[in-house]
C-alpha cells in the first residue's frame, strides 16, 4: 500500500458513493448508462472470485464487498426500482455492450499470465474494465447536457485509474521484479478513453459553465 494506491481506492469509492447519492436522494438515474453498470458488475464478479477463498487483509475484503454490493445494487435500482427506473434513458443507452465482452473474453483466453480459470477470469475483468466506460461516454455525448453528479461520477472514475497508474510507476521504481504488462496496458487504455471527457470537464470548471460533450 502506498499513497497513490490509497488515493486510487478512495477516489474509486467516492465515485460509487456519488452515484449512489444521486440514485438514493434524487431518485433518478438520468444520464447513467445501465450498460456500463452491468459491465462493471461483471468486472467485479469475475475479478473477486477469490473473495471467500483467498484472504489478503480486512481492508481488501471490505473493498471487494463494497464494490460487488454497490455494482449489483446500482443495476437493480436502474432495472427494478419503481421510481428510479422511470428516469432511465433506454432509447439513448443503446450501446451493444456484449460486443465488448466477447473480444475481451477471447483476448483473456489468448493472453494471460497463467491458463487457469481464476487467472483467465481475472484477466478478462481487466480487459473489460478498460472499455466498460464506453457506453457511458457514448450516452453522455448523445445527452449533451450533463448534470453535476453524473459529471463528478465519471471524473472520479477516470481519476481513480490515473492514481493507479501513478501507483504502478511508484512500485516499479521501489519494488524488485514489479512488471505486470497486462495490467499496465489495460489501465493505460482505460485512462486514454477518459482523455476527451477530462478536457471538457476542466474546460467547464475553468469557465464555470455547464459540462457539455460534443455530439
Alpha-carbon gap, residue 205 to 182, rounded angstroms: 34
- 55 in a domain, yes or no? yes
Please report the pLDDT score of residue 39 as a whole number: 97
In a domain, 212, yes or no: no
Whole-angstrom distance, CA of residue 157 vs CA of residue 128: 15
Q: Does residue 94 form part of some domain? A: yes
What does the pLDDT average to over 16-43?
93
For 152, the domain range is 3-205
Q: What is the pLDDT of residue 214?
A: 76
Residue 145 pLDDT exceeds 90: no
Q: Which three cell numbers stand for residue 83?
A: 421510481
Mean of per-residue pLDDT scores for the chain: 91
pLDDT of 213 higher than 80: no
Is 128 among the domain residues?
A: yes
Domain count, the chain: 1
- Other CB atoms within a 10 A radius of the CB of residue 113 amount to 13
Task: Flag whether 7 is in a domain.
Answer: yes
Distance CA 154, CA 126 (A): 18
User: Per residue in 85-99, pLDDT tens?
Assistant: 999 999 999 999 989
- Is the torsion defined by CA of 155, 160, 164, 166 positive or negative? positive
- Distance, in Å, from the CA atom of 26 to the CA atom of 19, rounded to the nearest integer, reads 10
The answer to whether position 214 is within a domain reads no
Comparing 84-88, 163-167, 194-198, 207-211, which segment has the lowest mean pLDDT? 207-211
| 88 domain-assigned | yes
Whole-number Å distance between alpha carbons of 47 and 195: 25
Report yes or no on 110 lying in a domain: yes
Amino acid at each position: 500500500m502506498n499513497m497513490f494506491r490509497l488515493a486510487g481506492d478512495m477516489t474509486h469509492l467516492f465515485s460509487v458513493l456519488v452515484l449512489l447519492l444521486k440514485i438514493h436522494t434524487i431518485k433518478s438515474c438520468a444520464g447513467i448508462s445501465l450498460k456500463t453498470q452491468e459491465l462493471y458488475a461483471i468486472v467485479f464478479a469475475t475479478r473477486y472470485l477469490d473473495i471467500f477463498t483467498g484472504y489478503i487483509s480486512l481492508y481488501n475484503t471490505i473493498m471487494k464487498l463494497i464494490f460487488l454490493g454497490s455494482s449489483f445494487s446500482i443495476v437493480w435500482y436502474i432495472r427494478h426500482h419503481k421510481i428510479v427506473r422511470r428516469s432511465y434513458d433506454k432509447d439513448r443507452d443503446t450501446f451493444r455492450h456484449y460486443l465488448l465482452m466477447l473480444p475481451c473474453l477471447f483476448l483473456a483466453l489468448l493472453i494471460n499470465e497463467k491458463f487457469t480459470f481464476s487467472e483467465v477470469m481475472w484477466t478478462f475483468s481487466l480487459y473489460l474494465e478498460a472499455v466498460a466506460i464506453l457506453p457511458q461516454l457514448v450516452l453522455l455525448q448523445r445527452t449533451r447536457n450533463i448534470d453535476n453528479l453524473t459529471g463528478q461520477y465519471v471524473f472520479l472514475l477516470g481519476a481513480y485509474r490515473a492514481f493507479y497508474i501513478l501507483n504502478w510507476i511508484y512500485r516499479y521504481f521501489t519494488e524488485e521484479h514489479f512488471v505486470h504488462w497486462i495490467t499496465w496496458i489495460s489501465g493505460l487504455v482505460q485512462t486514454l478513453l477518459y482523455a476527451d471527457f477530462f478536457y471538457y470537464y476542466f474546460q467547464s470548471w475553468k469557465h464555470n459553465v455547464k459540462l457539455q460533450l460534443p455530439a
